[in-house]
Amino acid sequence: MNEPDLSQLPYRRPPMTRGVDPQRMNWLWRLICELGAVDAPEVMEALHAAQVPVDLRRVKSWTVSDREASFFPITLAELERNLRSVLALRLAAREAQMQLQHASAEPAGEPQAELDAGAPHDGDGEGGVDPAQLEW
């Protein structure tokens, strides 16, 4: 079969099939939650960690159909804040898990600081990535 090398063909944007209202981004939030396995309790925990007052009812209202009584529109700014908060929470959890693993594997009498003395680490997240500086 003679298939074209898709990496050599020019990129084409898909057509816009819907009007985009930055005040009503619930459809995009639902897709992100499905793809990233994000659930309402995790979003609420992440927002609370970011000092955002929100309840579970509001978080769930962002993922229901706009035909349901519990629907509440999510803005583009809220969507970005939620994504960054969930990312920061996941990075912090991963960092804590790594520290626990290092602490449990640490030999008696050798402090972790001595073991890590030669390793570059700036302490702001996995791989030195500060989630607040990530840009998409």
Q: What is the mean pLDDT of residues 12-18?
A: 84
> Could you identify the residue written with the tokens 């803005």?
75
Helix, strand or coil, per DSSP, at residue 106: coil
The Cα–Cα gap between 49 and 61 comes to 20
Q: Which two tokens stand for residue 106?
A: 């640490």
Output the CA–CA distances (angstroms, integers) from residue 36 to 50, 75, 83, 116, in the order listed.
19, 19, 10, 32
| pLDDT score of 123 more than 90 | no
- Percent pLDDT > 90 in the chain is 55
Q: Which residue has the higher pLDDT, 2 or 133?
A: 2
| pLDDT score of 119 more than 80 | no
Cα-to-chain-centroid distance, residue 123: 19
The pLDDT confidence band at residue 112, using thresholds 50, 70 and 90, is: low
**Type of residue numbered 91:** L
Cα-to-chain-centroid distance, residue 23: 20
**Type of residue numbered 51:** Q
The average confidence (pLDDT) of the chain is: 83
The pLDDT confidence band at residue 127, using thresholds 50, 70 and 90, is: low
Q: H helices of the chain, where?
A: 26-35, 40-49, 56-61, 76-105, 112-115
